[in-house]
Amino acid sequence: MWSSKDVYYISDSTGILATSIGQALICQFPEISFHEEKFPFIQTVKEAKKTLNYIKKQSGGRRPLIFSTLMDPKIREVFNAPEVELFDAFELFLDRLENCLEAKALRVAGFSRHIDSVTMTKRVEAINYCLSHDDGTKVDEFDEADVILVGVSRAGKTPVSVYIATQMGLKSANFPLTKEYLTKYNLPPGILQNIKRTIAFTTTPEVLHNIREKRYQGSNYAKLSTCSEEIQQSERIFKKHKMPVISTAGKSIEEIATQVSQELGLSKKPANLGEKK
C-alpha cells in the first residue's frame, strides 16, 4: 500500500469539478497522505505537455494520480501517459451518457449549463446581500434572506453563508450569538419573525476551543470552559425556538451547505444555476 501519493487536478476550465470528483474519491483512503495540486485552464496541447513534464518531474516516477475534466481529445491524450494514472471524468461517463440519451454531447469547455443574464444577476445580488449581512449586520433586513444561519462565534457561519451565496445563488445572512443573547436565551426580532428560514449551527467544545485558540491564544474567549458553556446556552436557545440544528464539527463547507439546503427543502427546488467545471 502507498503511504503517500501525488494528485493533480487538470481542467480546461476552472477545475472545480475535477477537484470535487478527485477529493470525493481520495478521501475514502484516510490512511494515505495525498499531495494535491490544481491546473485549471489547460487549453492547448503545448500547455498540456508543459504541465505533464512538471508533473513527471515533481513525482519522480511514483505514478501520480491525475483527475481530468478535459474536453479536447488531443489535449486529454497528452496526459494518457504511462508515467501517470489518468482518471478522466468525461471518458468514464460522457460516452455512456450519449448512448443512453441517443444524442451527441456538445463537448465544450466551461459551464455545464450556461448562465443567463437573469440568473447571473440573481447570483450577484445574493453575494452582495451575503457580504452586507454578515456577522449580525442589518438584522432588520433579514426578511429578504433565503437562509439565516445562527450560532456561537466561530461555529462556521460565515464560510457556509458565502458558499450558499456564491454556489447556490441564495441570499444568506448569519448572526452570532453573543453574551447578550446567550445569557437571556433570546433572539432578535429580525430572526424570530423569520424563524422558519433559520438554521442553527453547533459544534463540540473541543473543536470550538481549537479554532478560537488559533486566533486568540490564552484568552478567556478561547477557554474550553467558555466554549462548553456557550454551546450549552446556544443549544437551549435552539431547543426553545424549535430550530433545526446542524453540527459543523468535522464537516466540509460543502457538506454543511448541503445539509442546510436539505433542512429548508431548498434541494427539492429545480436548479437553475450553472455550475463550473
Residue pLDDT, tens place only, 245-260: 999 999 999 899 999 9
Q: How many residues does the chain have?
A: 277
Q: Based on the domain organization, do 32 and 156 belong to the same domain? A: no
What digits encode the pLDDT tens for the residues 103-156? Answer: 887 777 655 545 566 777 888 899 999 999 999 999 999 999 999 999 999 999
Residues 147/197, Cβ–Cβ less than 8 Å: yes
Q: Based on the domain organization, do 125 and 252 belong to the same domain? A: yes
The CATH number of the domain holding residue 28 is 3.40.50
Q: Based on the domain organization, do 262 and 233 belong to the same domain? A: yes
Q: Based on the domain organization, do 231 and 259 belong to the same domain? A: yes
Q: Based on the domain organization, do 49 and 144 belong to the same domain? A: no
**Alpha carbon 52 to chain centroid distance?**
28
Residue 234 belongs to a domain: yes
Q: Based on the domain organization, do 20 and 157 belong to the same domain? A: no
Domain ends where: 101, 126, 155?
Answer: 101
More confident residue, 196 or 61: 196
The pLDDT of residue 115 is 55
Q: Based on the domain organization, do 86 and 168 belong to the same domain? A: no
Q: Based on the domain organization, do 50 and 95 belong to the same domain? A: yes
Residue 277 belongs to a domain: no
Q: Based on the domain organization, do 96 and 176 belong to the same domain? A: no
Instruction: Read off the pLDDT band of 178 (50, 70, 90).
Output: very high
Cβ atoms within 10 A of the Cβ of 88, count? 18
Residue 93 belongs to a domain: yes
Q: For residue 76, how many C-alpha atoms fall within 13 Å in the half-sphere facing its CB?
A: 17
Domain ends where: 41, 66, 101?
Answer: 101
Residue 273 belongs to a domain: no
Domain ends where: 71, 101, 131?
Answer: 101
Q: Based on the domain organization, do 164 and 247 belong to the same domain? A: yes
Mean pLDDT of 209-224: 95
Q: Based on the domain organization, do 241 and 122 belong to the same domain? A: yes
In terms of residue numbers, what domain contains 59? 4-101
DSSP H or E run through 89: helix 89-101
Mean pLDDT of 179-187: 95
Give which of 183, 180, 184, 178 is closest to 150, Cα–Cα.
178
Mean pLDDT of 227-237: 98
Q: Based on the domain organization, do 125 and 235 belong to the same domain? A: yes
What digits encode the pLDDT tens for the residues 65-90? Answer: 999 999 888 999 999 999 999 999 88
The pLDDT of residue 116 is 62
Give which of 162, 148, 133, 179 is closest to 241, Cα–Cα.
148
The pLDDT of residue 51 is 97
Alpha helices for 111-204 (secondary structure H): 117-132, 157-168, 179-182, 189-192
Residue 276 belongs to a domain: no
Mean pLDDT of the chain: 90
Query: How many domains in the chain?
Result: 2
